[in-house]
Amino acid sequence: MFTYKWNVMPRSAGVKTKVERAAVDLFAANGFDGVSIADIAAMAGVSQGALYRHYPSKEELGWALFSTAYLRTGEELDRIRTGGAEFEAAVTAMIAHFCALYDEDSALFRFMLLTQHGFLPRIPSGSRTPVDAVVDLVGDAVTKNRLKPIDPALGAAVIMGVILQCATFHIYGRLCGALGARAPALARASLAAVAALTQ
Residue 71 sits in a domain whose CATH number is 1.10.357.10
How confident is the model over 33-49, as pLDDT tens digits? 999 999 999 999 999 99
Total domains present in the chain: 1
Closest to 62 in 3D by CA, of 93, 84, 39: 39
Question: How many CB atoms are located within 10 Å of the residue 5 CB?
Answer: 10
User: DSSP letters along 34-59, please?
Assistant: G--HHHHHHHHTS-HHHHHHH-SSHH
Q: Would you say residue 129 lies in a domain?
A: yes
How confident is the model over 157-186, as pLDDT tens digits? 999 999 999 999 999 999 999 999 999 999
Q: Full-prediction pTM beyond 0.75?
A: yes
Which domain, by its residues, includes 147? 15-197
Q: State the amino acid at position 122 in one-letter form.
A: R
Closest to 185 in 3D by CA, of 102, 95, 97, 118: 95
Q: Would you say residue 4 lies in a domain?
A: no
pLDDT reported for residue 11: 44
Q: Would you say residue 10 lies in a domain?
A: no
pLDDT reported for residue 19: 96
